[in-house]
Structure 1
Amino acid sequence: MTQIGNRFGVNTYSYTQSMRASDCLRHLAELGVAEIELMLYPGHLWISDGPEAVAETCKALGDSSLTLTTINTPNIDLNIAAAAEEMRRASLELNSAFLHLGSDLGAKAMVLGPGKPNPLFPLSNDVLEGYFFQALDTLLPLAARLGIEIWIENMPFAFLPDAEGLMASLARYGEADLKICYDVANGHFIGEDPVEGLKTVASRLALVHLSDTTRQIYRHDAVGEGDLDFEVLPDAIAAVGHKERPILEIISRDPERDFPRSVAALKNYGF
């Protein structure tokens, strides 16, 4: 069995269609992983699975001494900034349920996307931002009551895809403690220099996602399969004072191959 090790956290996206969350956690612990970002996904762990599934997942975390830093969710499927009020309401209801589940699991934070524009005929950014702020008005007080944070991620399909735009929007919202998960592949895909992106979000940076992509096709591939320059990232992350483990958000049909090879490549780049 090829070890992944504890130098990086691991997002469980690659296992969502093949393993229950509890089995996945035990498996990753056997591979030396110490920190997890758990995807909430039907068939992996979902809000309708009931207390037994939650208890089994908690037991797997405890038995393996894994740290559950974040939960992540199907942001692509949901839209807190949708034009349709019904979609916004459904997205808020699901995200509220995710917060409850994340709190039950002991996660530190939930990763949240700002919402998506219609690519053919988008609403104005002012309207989209207003819907985003309304969602935060609902979700942040709930998160505070539950003892879990919300970290906003830069996402290429969101109406705030870039670091500068995301920081400016959060400044307008006015919540000084609201943090950011910066995804280097997402930044690279939209043409943003991830080094500059990290500098831009430094004051709010809570987590870094690592994977590879090109700027032509949006991917979260194993390191080396895209054209992202990983060599500059260790110094860039250190320069902004970020000391937490990066999370490998690699999405692969063969994670047993792609996680260990990515770890090996990143070590060669100085991580």
Structure 2
Amino acid sequence: MASVLWQDLTAEELRVKAAADAIVVLPVASIEQHGPHLPVGVDTILCGGVCKAAAERADDVDVVVAPTLWCGMAEHHMAFGGTFTFDIPTYRAVLLSFLKSIERHGFHRVLIVNGHGGNIAALTAFLPDFARETRLHVEATTYFMLAEAALGPLLEDQKGVQHACEVETSMMMVLAPGSVREPRLSEAFGALDRAPRRQVVSRHRSFREMTETGVVGDARRATPQKGQACLDACADALADLLRAMERAT
């Protein structure tokens, strides 16, 4: 199978993709702290890996996966160190520049796939701007929310992805084997008694206020087998979305 990754293709091959009206998947993620046991690149590694797997599974749809935007909205993690963050105007400008480059190369359809919770509100707010300032058909999703119903039954203590948790740690055991600092797993849990609540008043909260370890969830539950099952669930859900996008547009 030919590579689905933009960076692996020649300019000529990408021109052919554009002429065939391929869907461009644009992964967006973050570089931020992920507790004592995971590298700061978790969101970038996982989002890129899920997008690649989904594009390969949706082999009945012409898809090319752009390089992952590794910086996002991560002010809430800054107190722990190891984190990069944009402000809103910069993040909007960078994404718009990426989209305009994709448009200038002759592509018409873009699926932004997000892998970091802190990006969700900004991406939702930007979509009207992208529609107004480009001629692209742009859709956006967060892969772990898209797959939430499938992820729940695979987990012991969670219903979905939290942070540096059972899910992310398990998936890193598959997509970046050897990157998990296994001697630190015994410390990798936090905010376990924090019940979900309906948020009717908003304010900025540092992760320092929520967890001493930088973890929300329990990474001690992580296994490679669980990681493969979670990766499959996320890739399948995203592949289904690509097929639906192909049918609709």
**Range into which the TM-score falls when normalised by the shorter chain:** 0.3 to 0.5
Specify which structure has the bigger relative contact order, considering alpha-carbon pairs within 8 angstroms and separated by 6 or more residues. Answer: 2
- TM-score (ref. length: structure 2): 0.36
- TM-score (ref. length: structure 1): 0.34
